[in-house]
Chain A
Amino acid sequence: MRSIRVSIPLAATLGVMFSGSVGAAFADPVTITLNSWRTEDIAVWQDTILPAFEAKHPDIKVEFAPINTNEYNAAVQSQIEGGAGGDLITCRPFDVNREWIKRGYFESLEGLPGLANFDKTSRAAWSGADDKTYCLPVAAVLAGFYYNADIFKELGLKVPTTSAEFIDVLQAIKKDGRYTPLAYGSAESWQLAYNGLYSIGPAYWKGEEGRLGLIDGKKKLTDPEFVDAIAAFGAWKPFLPAGQESLNYADMTQLFTLGKAAILPDGSWDINQATSTGLNVGVFGPPVPKAGDQRYLQEMPDMGIGINAKSAHKDAAKTFLDWVAGPEFQELYVNAAPGFFAMSSKPVTYKNKLAQDFADLKKGAQLTPRLALDRLSAGTPPLDDETWRLLQVMFTKSDVTPQQVATELQAGLASWYGPQKK
């Protein structure tokens, strides 16, 4: 730790000297750097995105400077606190970023014209305690259900829209006996939460209403809408493959891609995997409790970009972010990285058909991020972690009721989270 802190003033001094000399030699163009954890995106940025931007703004040069994913948070923190760091910083969603905002790392983006392209929910992951937005939303992931269209056709099934229809479809596939209804297992508990409960649950707890209610302390996990959601998720159990307790994420994806299972509850990031064997795959959104109810869809913010408060080139950085907010960047990025979705309210065209289908699920649906990642997991026990664990217990033991799961979740949260204490 100490050695890093000592070395930063030195690095910063060198950096200033370097940029100073460059500035003296060429007054134009301005070079700004962008820090990111997506080392795998380096080619996308250098070959596609940045040339497109620089063609429009020849006076600004952007340098993409990724840092290893696992070291990203620590590296950014020590750089910025030492007065260095890129002009543009890629932002983690929710709690990590809220801490960064609190420490004054970012310049507020209020007043940036492009910000109007994003609604309040999309900006929530990068807002501070003062409700101002500090990072521009870049990409999100969605969760839904992939289905094998050929199996649906063979068995004469229609894509379900309500919870009752969903269970009927599963029942029909089970009765036929040739295919596993759901390619789903509980060995990896994270996906019980992310691809299961947090996907179908928002329809019960009314998305943001329930999520923000928990954050404000106005709602409890033991309220009927949360217990009903957990019960609706628990109702999947009879339709899982034998031995599901030991099946991990790779097993379930494989079961689906081999054509042995009809439905795969999964995230949009798995688009390439789910279609890798050339199956005729479609996608549908989480069912609603009753016909005619409002539809909800999980949209999990993944990354945003903010401006370093200590940057010397804030105007150039703002010009860049305004371009990032527009449809040109959004289309370039999401098509280069299928599975990632633009959060902008402006329409974006996806070249991958399944990605377009996934994006179409957003129409008419209210969007909501994963239930427990905003504030509710910043203490011990973290609500997210407890949700994984207790859903896994519910799926691996026969005598655990949804009510018990909800009671234990609430007790854990209320043990440390202020608004829920009482």
Chain B
Amino acid sequence: MISPAAAYRNLLLFVLPALAVYLVFAVLPLATSIVMSFFQTNGASGDIFVGLANYERLFTHPTISARFWNALLNNMQYFAIHLIVEVPMGLLLAALLTSGKLARSEGIYRTLLFIPATLSVVIVGFVWRLIINPLWGLVGFPLLGTESTALTTISLMSVWQYFGIPMVFLYSALLAVPNELVEAANIDGAGGWTTFWKIKFPLIAPQFGLIAILTYIWTFNGFDLVFALNGSAPGPNYSTDILGTYFYRTFFGSSGQLADLDLGAAVATIIFLTVLLVTAAYFWLIQRRLKSYSV
């Protein structure tokens, strides 16, 4: 018989390796980056504590703040398109896959639909850029070169790539819905539509909420596709600039802009807080109240 104290000691021993890696490679860099945002590190006299000066610059300098708000608004649009198109599309396809209408080809469809999510963003960006290229492609209109359509175009490319993720996620949730409930509903005379919305959807609502908030986190940390397509100063006229590219440009500099590590750290902290606060609020206010039915 192991004493409780020894059990805890063993537990700690087992957790320690993973905890150490997590602390050193995730928590520590995050903390140093937050600390850095309160310093001026590139001066001749070493690191100087400057309080909120970097944040003040971020929110009051006419150019820097204008670009920041522009990137934030663009990012909201980028998220909204994912939420409105990608998540419902994932739900629809998951519902179709589990409806039994596809019979034996279900596995083939599931695989085919998931393939884009396994591709590299660089490939996705390259292929789509060729498909919609006005010179060699299918669309004569310069979708990526027009301010009003560029961001939506990039968002939809990303949706095309990643709709497989919510699909698989919701697919597995739907598989877990007990058949007895569906059969009982059928016996009570419910059609496919009613069964889905009255029986299946309420049962997978927590997962649906989770994938929505994950989409939020992914899009607000988004960077790669925009960078692959438009570089670190994404045009035209910064219309496709999102927080990730804004941060990259500030922290690492671009060919037209000098790197500013401290301001970059401030931007990173703001992005972190944006993601953290909304996610926390979601879990406190919504996810807790979603009833999980147990059967």
Contacts and interface: CB of A to CB of B under 8 A. Distances in A.
B41 interface: yes
Nearest to B144: A246
Interface of A: 1, 95, 103, 185-190, 241-248, 251, 255, 377-378, 380-382, 384-385, 388-389, 392-393, 396-397, 412, 415
A251 B126 CA distance: 12
A7 B136 CA distance: 53
B135 A243 contact: yes
Contacts of B238: 389
Contacts of B44: 103
Interface of B: 41, 44, 61-64, 129, 132-136, 140-147, 231, 233, 235-238, 254-258
Given A243-B133, A396-B236, 15 more contacts: A187-B145, A190-B255, A243-B141, A243-B142, A246-B133, A247-B142, A251-B136, A378-B258, A381-B63, A389-B237, A389-B238, A396-B146, A396-B147, A397-B147, A415-B63
Contact of A392 (B41, B64, B231, B235): B235
Contacts of B134: 241-247
Nearest to B41: A1
Contacts of A186: 145, 236
Nearest to A396: B236
Q: Main secondary structure on chain B at its contact with chain A?
A: loop
Given A243-B145, A246-B142, A255-B135, A190 B61 contact: no
A186 B146 CA distance: 10
The residue among B141, B237, B238 with the most chain A CB atoms within 10 A of its own CB is B237
Contacts of A396: 142, 145-147, 236-237
A14 to B, nearest CB: 24
Given A243-B142, A380-B64, A381-B63, A392 B255 contact: no
A385 B133 contact: no
Given A247-B134, A251-B135, A385-B257, A187 B237 contact: no
B236 A393 contact: yes
A199 to B, nearest CB: 17
B135 A392 contact: no
B256 A190 contact: yes
Contacts of A187: 144-145, 235-236
A404 to B, nearest CB: 13
Contacts of B256: 190, 377, 382, 384-385, 388
A255 B231 CA distance: 22
B246 to A, nearest CB: 13
A385 B233 contact: yes
Nearest to A187: B145
Contacts of A381: 63
A8 to B, nearest CB: 14
Q: Which 7 A-B pairs have the closest CB atoms?
A: A243-B134, A245-B145, A385-B256, A246-B142, A245-B142, A246-B145, A381-B63
Contact of A246 (B41, B132, B257, B258): B132
22 contacts: A95-B258, A185-B145, A186-B236, A190-B256, A242-B140, A243-B133, A243-B141, A243-B145, A246-B134, A246-B142, A246-B143, A247-B133, A247-B145, A251-B135, A255-B135, A378-B258, A380-B64, A382-B257, A385-B257, A388-B233, A389-B235, A392-B235
